[in-house]
Amino acid sequence: THNYEDELLAVKNAKEAGLQVCVGGIFGMGETFAQRVELAIDIRDLETQSFPINFLKPMEGTALENLDLMELYEALRTIAMLRLVLPTIDLFVCGGREEVFTNHQKQIFAAGANGILGGNYLTTKGQDPKRDIEMIESLGLNPVYQSV
């Protein structure tokens, strides 16, 4: 029941209290590209360390079940825009990755993401982490393992 400005203020207050903050977004919920840019600028101004990028996976029985999955090109465009606006922030592609990018997941890194979240998500299963590791290594990158 908080408005957007309240949420931004909460993040600012947490930073002022000395906490490290991570602020992310879910894309593909009917927003315009201009609204995505607006969010990126707000995040830039907050100077957070990382930004988890999630893509809506419409689920039956939810208010957003009739939305279409974001198209690959639009998702890559969103990542690239975020990288341009947030050049020093770690960008991680998380929820919806497997559905939106299918067998094009390597392009996530070319678009500007620093990493991915492997394993399962809050409400959906992710792909086998071994597949993620193989993909990262095939790009000549070194996987960094962090448990949450």
In a domain, 144, yes or no: no
Task: Read off the pLDDT of residues 94-108 as tens digits, 9 standing for 90 and up.
Answer: 999 999 999 999 999
Here the CATH number for the domain that contains residue 129 is: 3.20.20.70
Q: Is 130 left (phi over 0), alpha (psi -120 to 50) or beta?
A: alpha
The first and second tokens of residue 142, run together, are 């070194």
Q: How many domains does the chain have?
A: 1
In a domain, 147, yes or no: no
Domain region containing 92: 4-138
**For tokens 């947030």, what's the residue?**
86
In a domain, 146, yes or no: no
- Of 74, 84, 73, 4, nearest in space to 40 by CA: 84
In a domain, 143, yes or no: no
Asked if residue 22 has pLDDT above 90, the reply is: no
Within a 10 A sphere around the Cβ of 98, how many other Cβ atoms?
19
In a domain, 145, yes or no: no
For Cα atoms 98, 56, 6, give the angle at the middle one, nearest 5 degrees. Answer: 135
CA distances from 6 to 1, 56, 110 (A): 10, 23, 34
In a domain, 75, yes or no: yes
In a domain, 14, yes or no: yes
Q: Please state the pTM of the whole predicted model.
A: 0.89
Q: What is the DSSP string of 20-40?
A: --B--EEE-SS--HHHHHHHH
- CA 24 – CA 86 distance, rounded (Å): 12
Task: Read off the pLDDT of residues 39-54 as tens digits, 9 standing for 90 and up.
Answer: 999 999 998 999 999 9
Task: Read off the pLDDT of residues 30-86 as tens digits, 9 standing for 90 and up.
Answer: 999 999 999 999 999 998 999 999 999 999 999 999 999 999 999 999 999 999 999
Q: What is the mean pLDDT of residues 114-134?
A: 79
In a domain, 148, yes or no: no
